[in-house]
Amino acid sequence: MSQLRIATFNLLHGQPLGPDGSPLPYPADPAAPLAEAVAALDADVLAMQEVDRYQERSGLVDQTAVAAKALGAGDWRFAAALHGRPAPGAGWIHQPGVPGFQVYGPDEADAGTELPSYGTALITRLPVRHWRARRFAPAPFGLPLRVAGRRGLTPVPDEPRAAIAAVLEGPDGRPFTVVAAHLSFVPGWNMGQLAGIRRWIADLPAPYLLLGDFNLIGPVPRTVLGGAALVDGLGPERWRGAPRGREAREARRELRGQRARRGVYLRSRRPAQLGQLPRRAMLQGWRDLARTPTYPAHRPSVQFDHVLAVGVPRSAVLGTGTPALGVSDHRPLLVQVDLRPS
């Protein structure tokens, strides 16, 4: 199975929306809209953000388990960035005495039903060699944002975020790494989180596929990742083949811009373990596999949701799509790739 369907989907806790983007009531079976939407994606690997687990607002269902069943996927992880209940306009009411971060899988599908949680999920039909997960602390301040069903701007505090990485069994038995992530909406803070993810997976095997809602538009995520790789590779011990000329000047400009943004704290350091790829490939190889608006779902105008890759050539992309599924204020981003070795 060399041709894979890779998708990322910000669920907005499975909220059904009308054609104009207004919220609709959940049906008698609250899991049905989500199950139908995910089945339509038919993804081999699916990253999901803003996922509920046993939340009253979404019908007390385990949304990751619902989505995995709809895909016929055998393995998955849900990383609870927090345990608690939403408090409209005030963030979250945290569950006392419960660790904020916890990872659930198929073995815990029916456990902790009394502990409502919220976070990020990664679902796969492929064999998994290794799982890992991490939590990001929220920014110390929030922003006024547009919220579905409300007029104007609503002050929204930032919240903890989570990322999940999986080393999957690829074509010919070769491994590759997939990451599902949901980043802060606070500018600068999200860039620091993205750079941290790149370093966090540096010891895992390439190629890399990084999926999620990054709250960053256009080429910004790719630029941040390339800049982070440059910083990691240009510490006191410079390596041969470092960028020169125009490439070096562009990288230095990006680095200066990152340092000027609050919350981004990239520093030169010893070269990191970069998987199976040479360091120069890490600088040049990060690319968007799909460039298309995903938000808002009823009239997409910006792209917050991305499928980024390194070690995957553009020629491997066989098709992309953002289907309208009637769930969430984001459209899913679907990419079909051929991962056969070139």
Q: How many domains does the chain have?
A: 1
Nearest CA to 231 out of 110, 223, 119 is that of 223
- The range of the structural domain enclosing residue 182 comes to 3-215+291-338
Question: Does residue 251 belong to any structural domain of this protein?
Answer: no
Question: Does residue 12 belong to any structural domain of this protein?
Answer: yes
> What was the pLDDT predicted at 109?
84
> What was the pLDDT predicted at 261?
40
Question: Does residue 72 belong to any structural domain of this protein?
Answer: yes
Question: Does residue 234 belong to any structural domain of this protein?
Answer: no
What's the CATH code of the domain at 211?
3.60.10.10
Question: Does residue 255 belong to any structural domain of this protein?
Answer: no
Question: Does residue 225 belong to any structural domain of this protein?
Answer: no
Question: Does residue 105 belong to any structural domain of this protein?
Answer: yes
**Over its length of 342 residues, how does the chain's per-residue pLDDT go in tens digits?**
579 999 999 999 999 999 999 999 999 999 999 999 999 999 999 999 999 999 999 999 999 999 999 999 999 999 999 999 998 766 888 888 887 789 999 998 888 899 999 999 999 999 999 999 999 999 998 887 776 667 778 788 899 999 999 999 987 789 999 999 999 999 999 999 999 999 999 999 999 999 999 999 988 999 888 765 555 543 333 333 334 455 445 545 544 554 444 333 333 333 333 344 444 444 456 889 999 999 999 999 999 999 999 988 888 999 999 999 999 999 999 999 998 776
Q: Is 338 exposed, middle or buried, given 0-12, 13-18 or 19+ CB atoms closer than 10 A?
A: middle
Q: What is the dihedral of CA 330, 331, 333, 336, to 10 degrees?
A: 160
Estimate the crossing angle of helix 220-233 against helix 189-200, to 10 degrees.
60
Question: Does residue 275 belong to any structural domain of this protein?
Answer: no
Kind of pairing, strands 102-104 and 143-145?
Answer: unpaired
